[in-house]
Amino acid sequence: MKYCKKCLTTDLRPNASFKAGVCIACSYTNSVQDDNSSLKLNILQRKIQQSRKKQRNKGAYDCIVGVSGGKDSTRQAHWVRDRLGLRPLIVCCAYPPKQMSEIGAKNLTNLMEMGFDVVVATPAPQTAAHLALESFKQFGNVCKSTEMSLFSTVPRLAIELGVNTIFWGENPALQVGDAAVEGFDEFDGNNLRRLNTLTAGGTDWLKEEVKSAYLAEHYLYPNEIEFEKKKINIFYLGPAWDDWSNDDNSVYASLQGLTLRPGEELETGDLSNASMLDEEFTNINMMLKYYKFGFGRATDSVNEQIRAGKLSRAEAIKIVETYDGVCSDRIINSYANYVGITINEFWNIANHWVNSEIFDIHDGKRPTKKFKVGINYES
Ligand SMILES: [Zn+2]
């Protein structure tokens, strides 16, 4: 396992791309440091105008903003309405009641009360729970089907409603270094369909696991022909800000009444206490990601700060040593209950996905790591 020289990204990350020992996210930061953010806003606005000219929207809305009820949602919705001057329809792919957290429900309510029209789409709970277990068994990813549903619902509704401009917040290519989704430029989200979670393993497994074919629809990303027919364009808002980051978005959202989770770092492994507010199972996925690839959410979080010049690599290593891979037994228990397995069964499935080159595996228990953070490791 090799680390990026500048941050703590490892070469085990899916679609990782390194040039001369530096990851794409770090090289991007270096190349745009002098860019003018107001110029970027102009570029984005021009692109939106071009997109809207291509297709007259049938209804009252100019665009769809895809949200989750988390911290970025508030900022995206406000920015599209108030800075870009558009009439947004907010589309939220919500979780089944047993998965959705109380904080998530509160935050979604808060967003509605700010005066937005919101469409909430929720998958059938029994199907969702079954697919969450199959995602875990077949892909070692408890959120795979959830993410498929999240990313697919927004373009699916855009196509059905005839609203051709879609906004997402962050560009996964730049924020976490997923080269497969890199678009024409940093605003271009039309390659989102290549996101690892949507492509890995195809869709046949999902179609086989649902009781009726129509129940799969909720999870399937519309194909390129449907996108082309309706002239659908996806844009990322993140690059048009000079201060788009997890920390800035949390502060903004808190000021707007968002409920956070103070003091739960050692429960969730989340340093900001502001990610994954809408449900808790993503924390398990962050832990699994750590066991598979040798890095977790603390790594993603400190990498942003290293690139922003707020944290040294040495300080970052200490934080990652403490928080990467943290996820409490309570959360694991809650997931096991949701999908109908025991804790023992949970760890036996999980251990199947652990990278044994960098972790020691123990039957029915948590693995332990062999490597030291920030230092290239060979087993
Ligand atoms: Zn890097």
**Model confidence over 239-266: pLDDT tens digits?**
777 666 667 777 777 777 767 666 778 8
Same domain for 209 and 323, yes or no, is: no
27 within a domain of the structure (yes/no): no
* Residue 40 CA to ligand 1 centre (angstroms): 23
375: left (phi over 0), alpha (psi -120 to 50) or beta: beta
pLDDT on residue 246? 67
pLDDT on residue 279? 83
Same domain for 77 and 178, yes or no, is: yes
* Residue 178 CA to ligand 1 centre (angstroms): 12
pLDDT on residue 195? 81
pLDDT on residue 302? 92
- The residue segments making up the domain with residue 45 are 37-240
The helix (H) or strand (E) run that includes residue 119 is: strand 117-121
Same domain for 57 and 92, yes or no, is: yes
26 within a domain of the structure (yes/no): no
Instruction: Among 240, 272, 307, give the residue marking a domain's end.
Output: 240
Same domain for 363 and 293, yes or no, is: yes
353 within a domain of the structure (yes/no): yes
Tell me how far apart the alpha carbons of residues 7 and 19 are, in angstroms, rounded to a whole number. 13
Tell me how far apart the alpha carbons of residues 286 and 180 are, in angstroms, rounded to a whole number. 20
Same domain for 70 and 106, yes or no, is: yes
pLDDT on residue 16? 81
* Residue 376 CA to ligand 1 centre (angstroms): 14
Low-confidence ranges of the chain (pLDDT < 50): 34
Tell me how far apart the alpha carbons of residues 291 and 225 are, in angstroms, rounded to a whole number. 38
Same domain for 147 and 46, yes or no, is: yes
Backbone φ and ψ of 348, nearest 5°: -70, -40
Tell me how far apart the alpha carbons of residues 371 and 358 are, in angstroms, rounded to a whole number. 6
* Residue 5 CA to ligand 1 centre (angstroms): 7
Contact 246, 176 (CB under 8 A): no
Contact 158, 166 (CB under 8 A): yes
Same domain for 357 and 222, yes or no, is: no
* Residue 20 CA to ligand 1 centre (angstroms): 11
- Tell me the CA distances in angstroms from 133 to 125, 127, 129, one per residue in order: 12, 10, 6
In 3-state terms, the chain is what percent helix, strand and coil (to 5)? 50, 10, 40
**CATH number for 133:** 3.40.50
Same domain for 195 and 59, yes or no, is: yes
Tell me how far apart the alpha carbons of residues 356 and 361 are, in angstroms, rounded to a whole number. 7
- Domain count of the chain? 2
